[in-house]
Amino acid sequence: MLRPTTGDRVMMAIIYISLTLLAFSTFYPFWNSLVISFNTGQDTALGGVTIWPREFTFENYAVVFQDKRLMNAFIISILRTVIGTIMSVFLTAMLAYGLSKRELVGRKFFMLFCVFTMFFSGGLIPTFLLIRELGLMNSFWVMIIPMLISVWNMIIFRTFFNQLPKGLEESAKIDGCGYWGVFLRVVLPLSGPVIATLSLFTAVAHWNDWFIPSIYLTSENLIPIQTLLQKILNSNTVTAAMANLDAGAQAMMSQQMQVTGRSLSMATMMVATLPIIMVYPFIQKYFVKGVLIGSLKE
């Protein structure tokens, strides 16, 4: 191998420095929020760069977990994410499996109809009127049903199904399986990587969504954590932040004067963010294979 020249060393140094700065600029906002959530609000109000909690405390999280509305919103988000992900991935896989069959009558029409919806939507007002006419207003299912089918995920599923050996389905049909049997007993068990990848993307979309509940939900008991967090983040003062808490949390916050609106917002943000981040390491091994599935063609 040729020894690197001075120019090569300089270029590598520039690359490493640039990547280090980019990584730091990406990670520091999250780290700063985490530090503030464990720092006393009065010390945080002094400003300055926070690399580590200067006055460590759990009081911010005590106030968050004392608020029954926040815990109810957290449960709503979990239910929405679990139910919505399972139903969306399963129904999207069903649609993709049907459209992967060349013998399906009208296959091109249905595929064109699905792709058309990726480029043109009904718009916010027609969608609102449709949701209202369907009786989904102020209902838990308004967060599930409109997101049941993802055309982009369907295309990835269909591409993967087309790459499966045809002999597997033929053998299953010889053994007496119909389309349902082939789909449930052969196709889905072989689709682990793509199911894991698309399940994560779907779960993140459900967990992070705050816009749909803010439009269609008025009941406090149905609001998910992200929508409630958005309201808290819009509170710029301690008084406004306390107005978003229930009576028990307000009493605790009044006793613990080291809690401020900003520290409370950061603690709430961590509670809303960490659960979905903790999912990534468990299915990371599926990422590369799952993401590349839609780009490979034989």
CATH of residue 125's domain is 1.10.3720.10
- Residue 250: what pLDDT? 54
- CB 214 within 8 Å of CB 140: no
Instruction: Assess if residue 67 is contained within a domain.
Output: yes
Task: Write down the H helix ranges in the chain.
Answer: 6-37, 41-44, 59-66, 68-99, 107-119, 124-133, 151-163, 166-174, 179-182, 192-208, 211-216, 225-233, 238-243, 247-255, 261-277, 280-283, 287-292
| Most confident residue range from 92-106, 218-232, 262-276 | 92-106
- CB 163 within 8 Å of CB 96: no
Confidence of residue 216 (pLDDT cuts 50, 70, 90): very high
Say which range, 99-103, 120-124, 125-129, 221-225, has the weakest mean pLDDT.
120-124
Alpha carbons 50 and 32: distance in angstroms, whole number: 6
Instruction: Assess if residue 6 is contained within a domain.
Output: no
Confidence of residue 229 (pLDDT cuts 50, 70, 90): confident
- CB 150 within 8 Å of CB 88: yes
Helix (H, G, I), strand (E, B) or coil at 56: strand
For range 232-254, the mean pLDDT: 54
CA-based diameter of the chain, in Å?
74
Q: What is the pTM of this model?
A: 0.76
Alpha carbons 256 and 40: distance in angstroms, whole number: 10
- Residue 239: what pLDDT? 47
Mean per-residue pLDDT of the chain: 82
Confidence of residue 1 (pLDDT cuts 50, 70, 90): low
Instruction: Assess if residue 51 is contained within a domain.
Output: no
In this predicted model, which residue has the larger pLDDT, 241 or 77?
A: 77
- Residue 237: what pLDDT? 43
- CB 74 within 8 Å of CB 250: no
Q: Which domain holds residue 118?
A: 58-298
- Burial annotation 158-186 (CB, 10 A radius, 16+ → b, else e): bbbbeeeeeeebeebeeeebeeeebbeeb
Phi-psi group of 217: left, alpha or beta (phi > 0 → left; psi -120 to 50 → alpha; rest → beta): beta
For range 115-122, the mean pLDDT: 86
- Residue 240: what pLDDT? 47
pLDDT digits (tens, 9 = 90+) for 83-102: 999 999 999 999 999 998 88
Instruction: Assess if residue 30 is contained within a domain.
Output: no
Instruction: Assess if residue 32 is contained within a domain.
Output: no
Does 245 have pLDDT greater than 60?
Answer: no
Say which range, 24-33, 81-90, 141-150, has the weakest mean pLDDT.
24-33
Question: Alpha-carbon dihedral of residues 255, 261, 267, 269, nearest 10 degrees?
Answer: 150
Domains of the chain: total: 1
Instruction: Assess if residue 248 is contained within a domain.
Output: yes
Instruction: Assess if residue 15 is contained within a domain.
Output: no
H/E run at residue 295:
none
- CB 248 within 8 Å of CB 68: yes
Instruction: Assess if residue 21 is contained within a domain.
Output: no
Q: Residue 69: which of 229, 213, 205, 207 has the closest Cα?
A: 229
In this predicted model, which residue has the larger pLDDT, 199 or 264?
A: 199
Phi-psi group of 106: left, alpha or beta (phi > 0 → left; psi -120 to 50 → alpha; rest → beta): left
Cα distances (angstroms) measured from residue 82 to each of 79, 152, 205: 5, 20, 12
In this predicted model, which residue has the larger pLDDT, 30 or 47?
A: 30
Say which range, 129-143, 232-246, 269-283, has the weakest mean pLDDT.
232-246
Alpha carbons 77 and 71: distance in angstroms, whole number: 10
Does 205 have pLDDT greater than 50?
Answer: yes
Does 295 have pLDDT greater than 70?
Answer: no
